[in-house]
Amino acid sequence: MMTMMEANTAPVAEAGPAEALAAAALTLARRFAAGGTMWCVAPEWPSHGRHIAVEFIHPVIIGKRALPAMSIDSGGGAAALRLLVRRGDVLVVVSTAGNAAATDLLDRAEAWGLTRVWLGTGPRPAARRAEHVVWLEGSDPALAARSGDMVLLYHLLWELTHVVFEHPGLLEAPPGCAGEVCITCSDEGRVAEVRSLLEGGAVEVTIEGVVETVDATLVAPVAPGDLLLVHAGVALTTIGASP
């Protein structure tokens, strides 16, 4: 393990996180411009979630607009967010790749129709659980969370988001793409969260923030809160159990 001094001065490939931050900032500005709220959760380090929210809602630079951001403590986070979020909002998660509370929220957020920004440290996640993944690779998570590296990531996210606001022509997403969530328009199946059970193996689910009825006979029994993978109106598999 590197000492802190080495960690702070060692040359690192910046291109990855810098480009990911740029893309995330463009999306974030577009979501804010469309009336979205940013929800912030950091299960392992709640202070980071609160820092992100205060950064956006109370800018340190006078004259920058206050943006709707709120941190939610991860205890009961899913239950609270399910009630609070609206399709088109943004979920920002700060965590390690393996944090179960974080990955559960990210999966549910897809069903709720949120755009997801995942700021992380330690080994990079194997599965793509967010539209924007900004990762501090090769760092000891416990140190990266406290060395200023993680704070730097979301400071930059704030700074770049406000630069995007200076480009009003780019604040509307290009036509032909409903936001940045193109991955879910594809053939791969869509993540659905079970709302309630209906008669005859049907269930009412939320998919991309919209309530639909799907056939769940292949994956029965299911319970409210379960996450299903749905293709053409049929639930093909269960991808998470209700917490």
Partner 1 sequence: MSAEPTGFLYPFIEADERDSSGLLADLAVSAVAKMQESRSLRAATLERCHDAIAQAGLAMAERFAAGGRLFAFGNGGSATDADGTVHLFRVPPSGRPLPAMSLVDDRAVLTALSNDVGFELVFSRQLIAHAHDGDIAVGFSTSGDSINMLNAFEEADRRGLLTVGLCGYEGAAMAVSDAVHHCLVVKSDSVHRIQEAQAAVMLAVWSSVQRCLAGGREPR
Residue numbers at the binding site for partner 1 (CB under 8 A)? 4-5, 8-9, 14-15, 17-19, 21-23, 25-26, 45-48, 50-51, 54-55, 58, 60-61, 140, 142-143, 145-149, 151-152, 155-156, 158-160, 163-164, 166-170, 174
What number of other Cβ atoms are within 10 A of residue 117's Cβ?
29
Nearest approach, Cβ of residue 25 and partner 1 (Å):
6
**Token pair listed for 228:** 């299903």
Pairing label, strands 69-71, 38-41: parallel
Cα angle, residue 31 at apex, residues 58 and 157 outer, rounded to 5°: 50
Long-range contacts of 146-153 (CB under 8 A, 24+ apart): 147/4, 147/7, 147/8, 148/8, 149/7, 149/121, 150/45, 150/48, 150/94, 150/119, 150/121, 151/48, 151/51, 153/17, 153/21, 153/119
Q: Which is nearer to partner 1, 78 or 94 (CB)?
A: 94
Nearest approach, Cβ of residue 65 and partner 1 (Å):
17
Tokens 């009825």 belong to: 213
Nearest approach, Cβ of residue 10 and partner 1 (Å):
9
Nearest approach, Cβ of residue 95 and partner 1 (Å):
15
Rg (CA), the chain: 19
Q: Which is nearer to partner 1, 40 or 228 (CB)?
A: 40
Q: Which is nearer to partner 1, 55 or 107 (CB)?
A: 55
Nearest approach, Cβ of residue 143 and partner 1 (Å):
7
